[in-house]
Amino acid sequence: MTTTATRFDGQVLTPGDAGYDTARTVWNAMIDRRPRMIVRAAGVADVVAAVRLARELDLEIGVRCGGHNAAGFAVPDGGLMIDLTPMGGVRVDPARRRAWVQGGALLGALDRATQAYGMATTAGNVSHTGVGGLTLGGGMGWLARQYGLACDNVVSYTVVTAEGDVVTASRTDNPDLFWGLRGGGGNFGIVTEFEFQLHHTGTRTLVAEFDFRAEDAVPVIEGWRDLNAVAPRQATFTASVGSAPAGPIATLGFVWVGDPAEGRRLLPAMRALGRPVASRVTTPSYLELQQREDSTGGHAYRRYAKGHYLRSFPTAAIEAFLLRGGSDLSASLHLPSVGLQAHGGAIADVPEADAAFSHRGTMFEFGAGSRWTDPAEDDARMSAARAAGASLEPYASGIYVNSLTADELADGQRGVRRAYSAAKLARLIAVKTAYDPANVFHLNQNIRPAQNIRPAL
């Protein structure tokens, strides 16, 4: 193949073209990179041609779906960006309880297509997130405690490999690749279609939130933690701490997917934890629930976050959670918001060896995140988020691979080793070596092949 012979059904953008700047803009305004070429793929053939062209020209490959990765892996400076967003279709077979989702689809498209039949599958909490990036890292969402992670609900993947071949990965076809794609990220190829198992979820939910002054919150969070341990699987417990004019506020509660009347049975136990300064109990539809954390104008924000998995949440960790990396509860300048989301249930039912995804014994996932618009605040905001993350690190058991930051990944393989056990990392390296020995797909939370022909950045 020659470069002059390459033809694409989709759009090809280069610097100066109309739409080029929009296509290279992702969810973190700190990312300002300029690919040599952006291929807005219209179908699998375009993805194949783009991979082969990038290899011919020795260009780094970045793959864009939702563009939510804060490190901006989708946008290779001087490289070839494969933009999957035109491939955003979702097809549903309600009788078979299956959905076929193209690699560029957003979670909102999946939710809308499946909720038309009162069905859903585990997806994240923000509708404009890409299905691909979320699922390949594991995929936590409000249904995970009932039905497992997003990756646990994938029946098969259609994948374009580093050689430009199109293969299927399932439990029977290329099972080693199937295992690696279930939590191993974008290391092994470009997924152009996911086949998901669907579940009869209905369309109704309940959200309960109770606000407490942070200075009063330690015993309340202890009770909330203990209640979580015995909660039904329809409930996903959540907690957050943020700044407010009168001082930091801790918000505790749960999200219930199913009949709201059943979810209300948890309310007396929640109310018995303490006297809140405010409370909210709402019954959004499932589609409304999936959109309630959406951010408008999000591409204008600069973003940084740190995360951990926690197998337990002792009182000392609760106190650190409330401080958010600050020295006392009165501190507020540049402190990040922090949050917890409960795991357990069906997530922990899956045998640890069944998929690349790790840390199935997690009790809570912790996150500390900041967003801002002034570049002059970059250092202060990132330092504050790092401090919040460091304060919980003594209690951490690992990290969600999708939460790894660019600085953690720049430090050799330390970050990746936090995401996977030694045994799983060895198996992931074997899969990587088999399917991408030259490390063509290295703009990700990179797992290096056994003999890394091309250095990972």
Q: What is the pLDDT of residues 319-331, one digit of tens each?
A: 999 999 998 888 7
Q: What is the pLDDT of residue 97?
A: 98
Q: Tokens 């011919």 map to which residue?
A: 56
120-135: buried (b, 16+ CB within 10 Å) or exposed (e) per residue?
bbbbbbbbbbbbbbbb
Q: Which residues pair with 200 in a beta bridge?
A: 119
Of the candidate ranges 80-84, 258-262, 296-300, the one whose mean pLDDT is the lowest: 296-300
User: Phi and psi of 248, rounded to 5°?
Assistant: -65, 145
- The amino acid sitting at 246 is A
- Distance, in Å, from the CA atom of 236 to the CA atom of 345, rounded to the nearest integer, reads 10
Q: Is the pLDDT of residue 295 over 90?
A: no
Q: Is the pLDDT of residue 455 over 70?
A: no
- Distance, in Å, from the CA atom of 294 to the CA atom of 333, rounded to the nearest integer, reads 25
Please state, for a pLDDT cut of 70, what percent of the chain lies above it.
Answer: 97
Q: Is the pLDDT of residue 413 over 90?
A: no
> Residue 231: pLDDT band by 50, 70, 90 thresholds?
very high
User: Phi and psi of 380, rounded to 5°?
Assistant: -65, -40
**Per-residue tokens: 49:** 């041609």
Q: What is the pLDDT of residue 316?
A: 98
161-191: buried (b, 16+ CB within 10 Å) or exposed (e) per residue?
bbbbeeeebeeeebeebbbbbbbbbbbbbbb
Q: What is the pLDDT of residue 88?
A: 98
Q: What is the pLDDT of residue 331?
A: 75
Q: Is the pLDDT of residue 332 over 50?
A: yes
Q: Are 299 and 26 in contact (CB under 8 A)?
A: yes
Q: Residue range 277-300: average pLDDT?
A: 92
Q: What is the pLDDT of residue 296?
A: 73
* Residue 265, CA atoms < 13 Å, CB-side half-sphere: 9
User: Phi and psi of 305, rounded to 5°?
Assistant: -150, 155
- Torsion, Cα of 242, 243, 246, 247 (10° steps): 80
- Distance, in Å, from the CA atom of 134 to the CA atom of 47, rounded to the nearest integer, reads 20
Q: Which residues pair with 241 in a beta bridge?
A: 250, 338
Cβ atoms within 10 Å, residue 422: 8
**Per-residue tokens: 122:** 């585990």
Q: Is the pLDDT of residue 453 over 70?
A: no
**Mean pLDDT, all residues of the chain:** 95
> Residue 4: pLDDT band by 50, 70, 90 thresholds?
very low
Q: What is the pLDDT of residues 420-443, one digit of tens each?
A: 999 999 999 999 999 999 999 999
70: nearest Cα among 370, 434, 426, 358? 370
Q: Residue range 283-298: average pLDDT?
A: 91
Q: What is the pLDDT of residue 137?
A: 97
CA distances from 442 to 63, 73, 436 (A): 11, 9, 9
Q: Is the pLDDT of residue 181 over 50?
A: yes
Please state, for a pLDDT cut of 90, what percent of the chain lies above it.
Answer: 91
Q: Are 276 and 341 in contact (CB under 8 A)?
A: no
88: nearest Cα among 121, 127, 122, 31? 127
Q: Is the pLDDT of residue 1 over 90?
A: no
Helix locations, 82-157, DSSP H: 107-115, 131-137, 144-147
> Residue 298: pLDDT band by 50, 70, 90 thresholds?
confident
Q: What is the pLDDT of residue 412?
A: 61
Q: Is the pLDDT of residue 452 over 70?
A: no
- N-terminal to C-terminal alpha carbon distance within the chain: 27
Q: Are 123 and 150 in contact (CB under 8 A)?
A: yes
Q: Is the pLDDT of residue 456 over 50?
A: no
> Whole-model pTM?
0.95
**Per-residue tokens: 410:** 């720049």
Q: What is the pLDDT of residue 410?
A: 75
> Residue 411: pLDDT band by 50, 70, 90 thresholds?
low
Q: What is the pLDDT of residues 47-106, one digit of tens each?
A: 999 999 999 999 999 999 999 998 999 999 999 999 999 999 999 999 999 999 999 999
- Give residue 101's region: left, alpha or beta (phi > 0; psi -120 to 50): beta
